[in-house]
Chain A
Amino acid sequence: MSRLAATFEKLAQSGRKALIPFVTAGDPKPEFTLPLMHALVDAGVDVIELGVPFSDPMADGPVIQRASERALAHKMSLSKTLALATEFRKTDQKTPLVLMGYLNPIEAMGYENFANAAQRADIDGVLTVDLPPEEGEHSAELLRERGVDTIFLLAPNSSHERIHKMATIGSGYLYYVSLKGVTGAGHLNVQDVETKLNEIKSITSLPVSIGFGVKDAETARTISSLGDGVVVGSALISKIENNLDDLESAKSEIIKLLTSMRQAMDS
């Protein structure tokens, strides 16, 4: 069983939901990320989504855009992100790691090279924002052959047929984008999420994590109750952005927010 499947199964057995932080690799500088990842695990997260910086993050709001820009200013890249993952695995063999990013760095590396590298780095899942199933079947197959899950995005306007398609090609979990908009947007509607989640759950038994617009413990609690996990990104990265000259404070504020989310979700 894959690390992701095992994680979600264990959570389900204990009636808990996955807390999934997103951080951009190399933000604000490469040496900050590895200790941060271990600290995230200590704070009780279940899966880490590691953002691969890209020059043109079209689906992201300004907070994650700027995180990419900071990381790229330090020459962060897909191959360096994979190296970071390898380092992380040396001391943590338990926490599933999902790479999240855009397609062009993978195009540049080559699909097969990337799949091999992801396997070597012991990556558990890959989510490529601009690679929908229509274009992504080959990539998903290469990854599947190497034991790496392909995670697809679902949106509020995804049709029944598309949900079915992504549940068939995808594995690990599905990532439900809670609103029409970019990451970090502020108009998440709980009622809408609940309605769509019911539809998704009627189609697939894959775990569904919900993200975009989750800012605080209260939202995390409400949203996590509707699915199997909650993803929080921009709210964490804001802590880095607001403490660029004091990264220890950034880290402790991130941990504080995640701890409060964990408590709210488990209560």
Chain B
Amino acid sequence: MTEKYNMPDARGHFGPYGGMFVAETLIPPIQELNEAYKKYLNDPEFIAELDADLKHYVGRPSPLYYAERWSRELGGAQIYLKREDLNHTGSHKINNTVGQALLAKRMGKTRIIAETGAGQHGVATATVAARLGLECVVYMGAVDVARQSLNVYRMKLLGATVVAVESGSKTLKDALNEALRDWVTNVDNTFYIIGTVAGPHPYPAMVRDFQAIIGRETKQQCLEMTGKLPDALVACVGGGSNAIGLFYPFIDDESVRLIGVEAAGDGVATGRHSAPLCAGRPGVLHGNRTYLMADDDGEIIETHSISAGLDYPGVGPEHAWLKDTGRAEYVNITDNEALEGFYALTRMEGIIPALESSHAMAHVLRLAPTMRKEEIIVVNLSGRGDKDMQTMARREGIEL
């Protein structure tokens, strides 16, 4: 790669991926959003307000923490954790919702809608909506409402209306469908805060740009702490927002391996998984072309993962492009392996990761011992595990 990475093109294409595949009613609001996003991204006043919010409200910069004991125990590369779990609301999701909410306010929208899987994006959206005094409706698959009830309660406390979606597989993809239906009905006053780097252009690029602060901080912190760039970055990938946020500022640094970790559920070979980059095929869903889990007829297949936040049949189009060009590698981790990652970080470092992030931790368990002691891995600890206490306790046979 000699030329500087400069994706997507003006119409939101990452090579054959991305684009704007939506029904006609959504084209005008998407164009309006794109105009606003381009305008404010270079507006010093907007950037100053965003930076101030990220510092004083979110609590940025998040630390880059050297996991000394875990590194020693694994006996290979030195492991650093990017502590997005320490952000306000407990995950990286708020980086994006703070940004999009500021946009919504400048565009004069009075109503916010969002989809959510694990509830982290829903909570982060309800949080910024409460702060700005905006009406907020969050769509969440009925299955996820049941398995992430703590987050449902948090959203309600924050004043949001949580709608349990009963159609289809009753998970994240169906929540997205329902949010799109709401948006098409209420386009005049409603801003749709998509939580991941998917959806029609400009969402994949816009959400990436709001999340890229993760990678920018990481680069600076790693240089300060170690005097060099990391050798590998590891992050879990559902839609892929925490991963792209970490990867993006390093794309032109060719010495840095970018490794995305998908959810293999019961194992990719069983078909019960959520790993479209590892075992899917290109197609079009939710406004963009990307790798999908679909059958030969193009119908979307139901996905499986222990973590609601990774339980999605698509993935951000930029990941599809990074995969095809070979710039990033994508691996997968089963539910059981993710649990090993969960326990390892908890016991080794006294940090309880979210089940989503546990997939990335599990890959570090495999990867670190294969690397030299002077090499550095930065793994994105995208969220904390508080929301998963009920799921984990239930697995251990304990009723809380």
Contact = CB atoms under 8 A, between A and B. Distances in A.
Contact of A107 (B167, B181, B287, B298): B298
Chain B interface main SS type: mixed
Contacts of A107: 282-284, 289, 298
Contacts of A108: 281, 283, 294-298
Nearest to A53: B299
Contacts of A181: 25, 184-185
State which size class the interface on A falls in. 35 or more
Contacts of B289: 107
Nearest to A78: B297
A185 interface: yes
A152 interface: yes
B298 A56 contact: no
Contacts of B187: 157, 180
Interface in B216-259: none
A59 B284 contact: no
13 contacts: A54-B299, A58-B23, A58-B286, A79-B297, A105-B298, A107-B298, A108-B295, A135-B21, A157-B29, A157-B187, A177-B23, A181-B184, A182-B181
Contacts, number: 120
Interface in A105-156: 105-109, 129-132, 134-135, 152-156
State which size class the interface on B falls in. 35 or more
Q: Which 4 A-B pairs have the closest CB atoms?
A: A108-B298, A105-B298, A77-B297, A155-B25
B299 A72 contact: yes
Interface of B: 11, 19-25, 27-29, 167-168, 173-174, 177, 180-181, 184-188, 281-287, 289, 292, 294-300
Interface of A: 54-59, 61-62, 65, 69, 72, 77-79, 102-109, 129-132, 134-135, 152-159, 162, 177, 180-182, 185
B287 A130 contact: yes
B352 to A, nearest CB: 34
Contacts of A77: 297, 299
A55 B24 contact: no
A57 B180 CA distance: 10
Contacts of B287: 130
A128 B175 CA distance: 22
Contacts of A69: 167-168
